[in-house]
Amino acid sequence: MSTAVFPGSFDPVTTGHVDLIRRASRMFDRLVVGVLVNSAKQPLFSKEERVAMLREITADQDNIEVSSFEGLLVDFVKEQHADAIVRGLRTPGDFEYELPLAQANHKLSVQADTIFLASAPEYSYISSSAVRELLRYQADISGYVPETVLRYMREHGVVSN
- Phi–psi pair at 117, nearest 5 degrees: -115, 125
Report if residue 72 touches ligand PNS, rule: CB under 6 A: yes
DSSP letter, residue 123 = G
Identified binder of ligand PNS from the candidate list 3, 9, 109, 111, rule CB under 6 A: 9
State the minimum distance, in angstroms, from the CB of residue 90 to ligand PNS.
Answer: 11
Of 2, 41, 142, 154, which one is the catalytic site residue? 41
**Of 47-55, 60-68, 101-109, 148-156: span binding ligand PNS (CB under 6 A):** 101-109
CB of 36 to ligand PNS, least distance (A): 4
Supply the minimum distance, in Å, between the C-beta of residue 161 and ligand PNS: 27
Q: Tell whether residue 73 is a contact of ligand PNS (CB under 6 A).
A: yes
77 is an interface residue for ligand PNS by CB under 6 A: no
Coil/strand/helix, residue 102: helix
67-78 per-residue burial string, b: 16 or more CB within 10 A, e: under 16: ebbeeebbebbe
Catalytic residue from among 30, 50, 87, 90: 90
d(Cα 103, Cα 114) in Å, to the nearest integer?
Answer: 8
> Given the complex with ligand PNS, which of 7 and 146 has the nearer CB atom?
7
Would you say 89 and 62 are in contact if contact means Cβ atoms under 8 Å apart? no
Single-letter amino acid code for the residue at 156: H
Q: Is the peptide bond between 7 and the residue preceding it cis, with omega within 30 degrees of 0?
A: no
Closest to ligand PNS by CB, 101 or 139: 101
The C-alpha atoms of residue 142 and residue 16 are separated, in whole angstroms, by 13
Give the number of residues in contact with ligand PNS, rule: CB under 6 A: 9
Residue 30 in contact with residue 53, Cβ under 8 Å?
no
Binding site for ligand PNS (CB under 6 A): 7-9, 36, 72-73, 101, 104-105
Which active-site residues does the annotation give? 17, 41, 90, 128
